[in-house]
Amino acid sequence: MIQYYCDLCKRLLDPEEDLRYVVKLEVYAAFDPLQIDDDHDNLQELNEILEGIDTARSDDVSDDVYQTLRFDLCPECRRRFLKNPLGRNPAELLDFSQN
Burial level of 74, CB count in 10 A (0-12/13-18/19+)? buried
Range of the domain at 48: 4-94
Residue 99 forms part of a structural domain: no
Residue 78 forms part of a structural domain: yes
Q: How far is CA 12 from CA 16, 47, 72, 97, in A?
A: 12, 51, 11, 42
Residue 47 forms part of a structural domain: yes
Burial level of 6, CB count in 10 A (0-12/13-18/19+)? buried
pLDDT the model gives residue 47:
77
Residue 10 forms part of a structural domain: yes
pLDDT the model gives residue 43:
76
In tens digits, what is the pLDDT along the chain, a chain of 99 residues? 889 999 999 999 998 998 999 999 999 888 776 666 666 666 777 777 777 766 666 656 677 788 999 999 999 999 999 999 998 887 665 666 676
Please tell me the total count of domains within the chain: 1
Residue 15 forms part of a structural domain: yes
